[in-house]
């Protein structure tokens, strides 16, 4: 089997490359895709590939001025469009396209599943919608799985590694009210869920890549502080995040309650379904 990955240099991409290598699976790292990328060249690069995993996109956390909002949008939509166009030129075509999205597509006010959900009215949701629509153009000739990522927790990067030094100093705390959803997934479950989708060729569609346990920012803070045996009395007020990130504060202070209904229905078993268990594994 040959798997091609865009965004292979990112936190999730690096995890997947290492994971597939241990399974004896050949991985091709797709070079950076931009408006100048020729789809015919990309199609040649992808020749013989069985699965394409599309993870490319500029970091969400940052100050969202008009320039950076365009970078956020274009880095996801352009790369997805070019990949889909390249696949359309290929014979034979890859069996499967796995394309990233985010739980940020969902409104924050209720429990969200793939079959029963409401869409948020903000720029992050707008990006996710456009991202997914581009990926769907690969249908019907290639199987498609859209993975709506929650916060990915792991040992070698991502959000948690940025939080740990602060919490270890006893300076951690909830963000804003702390009541916002905190949908997360351990890297081990993320990698295994992707392999599960690849192996089970009858499944497709949208998948929430989140753990079954539903929690919020306040509980996450308390559990992490408990494991580290540190206080977590501080909090970051919403207005401070707004001053720092502007409209982009939603990526830090927002949150969703997303449940992995589709994965569970298909029979996927989580290794780390509960937050405390997951954080113990990572921090240890």
> What's the pLDDT tens digit per position in 95-108?
999 999 999 999 99
Compute how many other C-beta atoms are within 10 angstroms of the C-beta atom of residue 264.
15
Pick the more confident residue, 64 or 85: 85
Residue 224 lies in a domain: no
Tell me the pLDDT band of 282, cut-offs 50, 70 and 90.
very high
Residue 8 lies in a domain: yes
| Cα 43 from chain centre | 25
Tokens of 186: 């351990």
Residue 116 lies in a domain: yes
Residue 32 lies in a domain: yes
Residue 177 lies in a domain: no
CA–CA distances in Å: residue 112 to residues 31, 161, 260: 34, 27, 9
Pick the more confident residue, 250 or 275: 275
Residue 243 lies in a domain: no
The boundaries of the domain holding residue 13 are: 2-155+185-210
Tokens of 142: 């290639």
Closest of 116, 78, 152, 153 to residue 262, by C-alpha? 116
Asked whether residue 281 carries a pLDDT value surpassing 80, the answer given is: yes
Residue 180 lies in a domain: no
Pick the more confident residue, 184 or 234: 184
What's the rounded mean pLDDT across residues 14-31?
97
Task: For 114-135, write each residue's pLDDT tens digit.
Answer: 999 999 999 999 999 999 999 9
Rounded to 5°, angle at Cα 163 from 273 and 255: 60
**What is the domain-level CATH number for residue 151?**
3.40.50.720
Measured over all CA atoms, what is the biggest interatomic distance in the chain, rounded to whole angstroms?
Answer: 59
pTM over 0.85: yes
What's the rounded mean pLDDT across residues 36-60?
96
Tell me the pLDDT band of 169, cut-offs 50, 70 and 90.
confident
How many domains does the chain contain in total? 1
Distance CA 49, CA 16 (A): 16
Q: What is the DSSP string of the chain?
A: -EEEEETTTSHHHHHHHHHHHHTT-EEEEPPP--TT--HHHHHHHTTT-SEEEE-----S-S---HHHHHHHHHHHHHHHHHHHHHHHH-SSPPSEEEEEEEGGGB-TTSEE-SSS--B-SSHHHHHHHHHHHHHHTTTTTSEEEEEEE-EEE-SSSHHHHHHHHHHHTT--EEETTS-SB--EEEHHHHHHHHHHHHH-TT--EEEEES-SS--BHHHHHHHHHHHHT----EEE-HHHHHHHHGGGGHHHH---EE--HHHHHHT---S--SHHHHHHHHH-
Residue 131 lies in a domain: yes
Distance CA 85, CA 35 (A): 13
What's the rounded mean pLDDT across residues 6-32?
96
| Cα 26 from chain centre | 22
Q: Tell me, what's the pLDDT at 60?
A: 87
What's the rounded mean pLDDT across residues 192-205?
98
**Mean pLDDT, the chain, integer:** 92
Burial status of residue 143 (CB atoms within 10 A of its CB: 0-12, 13-18, 19 or more):
buried
Distance CA 143, CA 281 (A): 34
């Amino acid at each position: 089997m040959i798997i091609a990955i865009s965004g292979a240099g990112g936190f999730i991409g690096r995890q997947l490359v290492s994971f597939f290598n241990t399974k004896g699976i050949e991985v091709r790292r797709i070079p950076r895709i931009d408006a100048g990328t020729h789809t015919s060249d990309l199609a040649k690069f992808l020749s013989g590939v069985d699965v394409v995993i599309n993870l490319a996109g500029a970091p969400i956390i940052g100050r969202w001025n008009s320039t950076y909002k365009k970078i956020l949008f274009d880095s996801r939509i352009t790369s997805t469009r070019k990949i889909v166009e390249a696949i359309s030129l290929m014979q034979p075509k890859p069996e499967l396209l796995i394309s990233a999205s985010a739980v940020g597509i969902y409104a924050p006010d209720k429990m969200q599943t793939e079959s029963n959900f409401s869409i948020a009215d903000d720029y992050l949701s707008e990006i996710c919608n456009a991202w997914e629509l581009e990926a769907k153009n690969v249908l019907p000739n290639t199987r498609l799985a859209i993975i709506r990522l929650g916060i990915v927790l792991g040992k070698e990067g991502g959000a948690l590694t940025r939080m740990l030094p602060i919490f270890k100093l006893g300076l951690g705390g909830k963000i804003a009210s702390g009541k916002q959803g905190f949908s997360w997934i351990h890297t081990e479950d993320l990698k295994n869920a992707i392999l599960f989708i690849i192996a089970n060729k009858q499944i497709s569609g949208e998948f929430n890549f989140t753990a079954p346990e539903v929690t919020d920012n306040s509980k996450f803070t308390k559990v992490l502080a408990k494991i580290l045996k540190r206080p977590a009395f501080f909090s970051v007020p919403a207005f401070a995040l707004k001053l720092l990130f502007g409209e982009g504060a939603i990526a830090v202070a927002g949150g969703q309650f997303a449940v992995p209904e589709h994965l569970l229905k298909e029979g996927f078993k989580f290794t780390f379904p509960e937050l405390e268990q997951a954080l113990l594994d990572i921090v240890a």
